[in-house]
Amino acid sequence: DVIVIGSANVDYITYVPNLPRPGETVAGTHFETCFGGKGANQCLAAAKLGAKTALVAKVGQDATGDDYLTYLDKNGIIVEHVEQIKDQPTGLAQIAVSDDGENNIIIVAGANACMDGKAITRAKKLIQNSKVLLCQLETNVNATLCALRLFKGISIVNAAPVLKEMPPEIFSSPSIFCVNEVEAAQLTDRDEIKTLQDARAAAIDLIDKGANSVIITLGAQGAVYMSKDNKERCLHVPAEPVDHVVDTSGAGDAFIGALAYHLARFPNLPRERHIYAANSVAAHSIQHRGTQPSFPGEEKAHNNLCM
């Protein structure tokens, strides 16, 4: 159903009372090692909901890479196109999470930097036979563009992280261009996006950059959607209310993985329904610790979107 081209990292997560300022040292309360990387995260979020998924990625030819492959395979993800690279470590992310659920993240690409057009050519059949193609910008953008060019189904680009040079095709190729409020602000030269009016204006700018349709996620405000066919209409889908936020890391990945799952299952329903379901899955994620461990299983899949 869903094919993901993207990164696989190991997350080293420390929990701290407050995020350290530059030069400051803070004592962490505990530490966890988890599998992460936006590509693998979003793939796993879709797989846990029940999608048939495949990942095109690179990991190190090391114990971490071996463990990652075993883990993805156990979760039912097709790993035929997850290649182990000699002389490169598996990508890693250092994540700090504060008591109030804020986070900051440092990434070392490692094997992820070896993603190339050859990997896409090798996976061509699998890509073309999928219903939904999902990409982020943590791996080589030219390889991503190759995949988008040969794909005919519903494609999503999650433009995270924002690149210094964004090729115009990255806006215009995918069916859906999806970013959070920070990325939307960066891409449209705004200081910040706070209100729905700001989000609407940013969505128009992204459509003007060539996007066919845009989703901007807005944390506790949910998400907005706009299609180039009707720039007058900025659809707001409110978030599912959450009383106690535990850990926001992975919220965006849960949202996008869930979006891909529901698009693959119900391609012809209005986007509003897909976004509603994605908000609900993301709301579950922020009430649980960690990134991948916070993604819900099939019980949270909205298999009744037709109601």
Catalytic residue flag (residue 253): yes
Cis peptide bond prior to 161, omega within 30° of 0? yes
Contact at 8 Å (CB) between 172 and 212?
A: yes
- Is 277 part of any known ligand binding site? no
For the bound state, the minimum distance from the C-beta of residue 218 to ligand ADP, rounded and expressed in Å, comes to 6
**287 with 73: CB under 8 angstroms?**
no
Query: Site residues for ligand ADP, window 20-49 (CB under 6 A)?
Result: none
Question: What sign for the dihedral angle of Cα 283, 287, 291, 294?
Answer: negative
Of the candidate spans 61-69, 86-94, 188-196, 244-252, the one that interacts with ligand ADP by CB under 6 A turns out to be 244-252
Query: To 5 degrees, how large is the angle CA 213–CA 215–CA 217?
Result: 170
**Binding to ligand ADP in span 195-214, by CB under 6 A:** none
220 is in an annotated binding site: yes
Out of 242, 246, 269, 305, which residue is the one contacting ligand ADP (CB under 6 A)? 242
Does residue 89 belong to the site contacting ligand ADP (CB under 6 A)?
no
Interatomic CA distance for residues 228 and 150, integer angstroms: 22
Tell me whether residue 198 is annotated as binding: no
Rounded to whole angstroms, how far apart are CA atoms 106 and 267?
A: 35
Q: Is 91 annotated as a binding residue?
A: no
Residues in 108-147 that interact with ligand ADP by CB under 6 A: none
Instruction: Indicate the residue among 185 and 251 with the shorter CB distance to ligand ADP.
Output: 251
Instruction: Return the amino acid letter for 236.
Output: H
In angstroms, rounded to a whole number, what is the distance separating the alpha carbons of residues 153 and 156? 10
Tell me which stretch binds ligand ADP (CB under 6 A): 39-47, 130-138, 169-177, 249-257: 249-257
Q: Which residues contact 238 (CB under 8 A, 6 or more apart)?
A: 221, 222, 279
User: Residue numbers of the site for ligand ADP (CB under 6 A)?
Assistant: 180-181, 217-220, 222-223, 239-240, 242, 245, 248, 251-252, 255, 279, 282-283, 286
Catalytically active residues are: 253
